[in-house]
Structure 1
Amino acid sequence: MDTDLVRAEYTPATTYLNTASSGLLPARAADAMRDAIVAMTEGRPIDSLFTDVEEARAAFARIAGVPVTRVATGASVALYTGLIAAALPEGAEVLVAEGEFSSTINPFHVRGDLKVRTVPLEGLAEAVRPGTALVAVSAAQSADGRIADLTDLRTATRAHGARLYIDASQAAGWFPLAEHAAAADYVASVAFKWLTCPRGAVFFIAPGDDRSFEALTPVFGGWVAGERPWDSCYGPVTELARSARRFDETPGLVAYAGARRSLALIEKLGPQDIRAHDLALADRFRAGLASLGHEPIPSPGSPIVSVPELGVRQQRLHEAGIELSNRAGNLRASFHLYNTPHDVDRLLDALSA
């Protein structure tokens, strides 16, 4: 990984170990967003901002290893969960993991006529059974970084005729998403965490087979869902986009101006190299915790490390200039491309004090 490029683009003012909450913006994204706001302030044309949306869509497709025609853009994972929930028949069984992030599962609950079954993450694949319509799971759990076995899940869902919905919000940017996204039925991901985009940019990967694609009704589709958006501004949309763009939400243009530049940087740095860097730091932290007598929640192969009972120290660490999260009493550290071994050691020193 090009560390000089990282240092030029990311300038944390703290020991920032909280990417699982929100990633740092690179300088190029912040500059693009400022330019967009100035253009809007001065009344200059902003047509180029729609180009930013398309470039961001294409970059995410490359990172996920899917055709760009399968990628929609929006602003909320919950919206796309709701889209999937709306397509399920009454009484359908949805299988989810205990403690799953709300945006990934809540729309299934609020429908009221679906059977939502909850099991431990480690037993998710074994719990798929005849009659299971959908499995919804985060590739990496928000609370503690545990990684779902997506290979086993895909095997199990195919064996029982179920569909697989992956929330990649805590994975895209460091996780080998391209190994799994193409085979999933649906994938949704925010981009403001490990992809270091602004808040307001979300991507959705629609089904790759025609039957499943057509079964997903774009219930919130507006003018941007048309095959020719600028000809779809008035009255009902007469021709939906033939690609996943039919599932687009009207974009927050300033967010996508930044997202285009952030995703280009992630591509240049390389998700594989980012993964190696992140996991090395997380393993360094786990080893240091062991020497201090602390045992984190097991999350091998994840850059998210949660330590039981240490969440109470989050405020004191914040006051010392070290940013982490308190999740359900656990101290959650998350290591990303702009972090260094020195950051890990500073946190360990603070915990030992």
Structure 2
Amino acid sequence: MLAIASAFTRVPGYLDTASYGLPSRAAARAVRDAVRAWQAGTLDPAAFDPAVERMRAAFGTLVGAAADDVTLAGSTSQVVGMVAASLPDGARVAIAEGDFASVCFPFLADPRLRVDVVPLDGIVAAAATADLVAVSAVQSSDGRVANLDALATAARVSGAKTLVDASHAAGWMELSARDFDVVVASAYKWLAAPRGIALAAVRPDAAWVRPVNAGWYGADRPWDSLYGPRMQLSATARRLDTSPPWQLVEAGAISLELLASQAVAEIGAHSVGLANAFRERIGMPRGASPIVAVEGVDADALAGAGIRASSRGGRARFAFHVANDERDVDLVVHAVRAKARAAA
């Protein structure tokens, strides 16, 4: 069992981290404390700035970037939209067929851009002709893993820019964010933070990414930058920040620091190991991610057996993470086999 597992209240049969991750007890307490302070009128917005810096540092540790590389946002699509708006007219963008909407829609919605949709296994080759390649490190629908090493190499050769959505990878998959222009993750899934926080590592030489949503929090001294027209944005990735959700950031910092206290490789070995134990016991080949998509299984029908999963693309999607253990594997295998017998 992972050392950090004891920080969570185990919810037997919760296999839906791909929808949202469960908080640690400390993170949940931090949200409650912030709400109480808000209700009492004692919330001090400036007092949350250190928590934002802690999130930058912890996210950098988790994805292989420096704290100064990290920008704060509210969602993945916000960051992707900023990247799309930073591209020149007529730029060619390659996206993977069936990728998550937040990765695709900001480009598809921009009439200035030419968007090529390719199979996931063709995304590396697309770097040869694209101005930018955008892809999820791990597919939300079924857990397929992109060949990021090959993509980084192909992009270096061709000069293509790169955006990687690590929402289903950060925290359990070892990443090297500086191999890509932008690596973004919504923190409410595998990073176990509250919804409303996204973080992105922006390579220092990716000055082409413009602060499309420029605001007061993009300055090095934000509380001295509340009013215009004088604007002095940070020279670091902070220039791209949007202002923080005050009631959430302490919980976010606690969540990311907890994960960063355990080696990413250990979290990945635990989570993928449980997923593969499940795959093997129901006759599926081993995989490379903690997401398992099973044909012919209704996720909603498993609720009575104490299984929380989700339905994606006509399949039941199960996701194993730090708070899961072998008991969850036993529980879901029994439930899936029981439904299969009932349907036979």
User: TM-score normalised to the size of structure 1?
Assistant: 0.92
1:240 maps to which of 228, 233, 251: 233
CA offsets 1:306-341 (integer angstroms, 9 cap, x no match): 11232xx21111132200111010111111111111
Take 1:263 and 1:165, find their aligned partners in 2: how far apart are those partners? 22
Q: Is the 8 A contact 1:222 1:237 kept in 2?
A: no
Q: Give the structure 1 partner of residue 342 of structure 2.
A: none
1:264 maps to which of 257, 261, 268: 257
Structure 2 residue 95 is matched with structure 1 residue 99: no
Take 1:86 and 1:127, find their aligned partners in 2: how far apart are those partners? 21
Q: Is the 8 A contact 1:226 1:237 kept in 2?
A: no
Structure 2 residue 282 is matched with structure 1 residue 284: no
Q: Note the residue ranges of structure 1 that are not aligned, 5 or more in a row.
A: none
Q: Is the 8 A contact 2:165 2:184 kept in 1?
A: yes
Q: Secondary structure at the match of 2:255?
A: helix
Q: Is the 8 A contact 2:188 2:197 kept in 1?
A: yes
1:14 to 1:300, Cα distance in 2 relative to 1, 3 A: closer
Q: Give the structure 2 partner of residue 196 of structure 1.
A: 192
Take 1:171 and 1:303, find their aligned partners in 2: how far apart are those partners? 9
1:148 to 1:14, Cα distance in 2 relative to 1, 3 A: same
CA offsets 1:182-215 (integer angstroms, 9 cap, x no match): 1111111011111111111110112321xx31x2
Once the two structures are superposed, the pairs formed by residues 1-353 of structure 1 within 5 Å of their partners are 2-3=2-3, 5-7=4-6, 9-46=7-44, 47-130=46-129, 132-177=130-175, 180-209=176-205, 212-213=206-207, 215-290=208-283, 295=284, 300-310=287-297, 313-353=298-338
Task: Give the residue type in structure 2 aligned to 1:172.
Answer: A
Take 1:243 and 1:199, find their aligned partners in 2: how far apart are those partners? 25
CA offsets 1:262-288 (integer angstroms, 9 cap, x no match): 112112233221111111101101111
1:299 Cα deviation from its structure 2 partner: 7.1
1:300 Cα deviation from its structure 2 partner: 2.3
Take 2:216 and 2:314, find their aligned partners in 1: how far apart are those partners? 45
Q: Is the 8 A contact 2:95 2:133 kept in 1?
A: yes
Q: Secondary structure at the match of 1:259?
A: helix
1:45 Cα deviation from its structure 2 partner: 4.8
Q: Secondary structure at the match of 1:73?
A: strand
Q: Secondary structure at the match of 2:299?
A: helix
Q: Is the 8 A contact 1:223 1:237 kept in 2?
A: no
Take 2:125 and 2:87, find their aligned partners in 1: how far apart are those partners? 22
1:94 to 1:16, Cα distance in 2 relative to 1, 3 A: same
Q: Secondary structure at the match of 2:200?
A: strand
Q: Secondary structure at the match of 1:117?
A: strand
Q: Is the 8 A contact 2:123 2:151 kept in 1?
A: yes
1:40 Cα deviation from its structure 2 partner: 1.8
Between 1:44-53 and 1:59-68, the stretch displaced more is 44-53
1:95 Cα deviation from its structure 2 partner: 0.5
Q: Is the 8 A contact 1:175 1:275 kept in 2?
A: yes
1:31 Cα deviation from its structure 2 partner: 1.1
1:158 Cα deviation from its structure 2 partner: 1.6
Task: Give the residue type in structure 2 aligned to 1:43.
Answer: G
Q: Is the 8 A contact 2:63 2:171 kept in 1?
A: no
Q: Is the 8 A contact 1:143 1:306 kept in 2?
A: yes
1:152 Cα deviation from its structure 2 partner: 0.7
Q: Secondary structure at the match of 2:183?
A: strand
Take 2:109 and 2:243, find their aligned partners in 1: how far apart are those partners? 24
Q: Is the 8 A contact 2:152 2:180 kept in 1?
A: yes
1:128 Cα deviation from its structure 2 partner: 2.6
Q: Is the 8 A contact 1:176 1:271 kept in 2?
A: yes
Q: Is the 8 A contact 2:10 2:324 kept in 1?
A: no
Q: Note the residue ranges of structure 2 that are not aligned, 5 or more in a row.
A: 339-344
CA offsets 1:68-98 (integer angstroms, 9 cap, x no match): 1110011111011011101111111101111
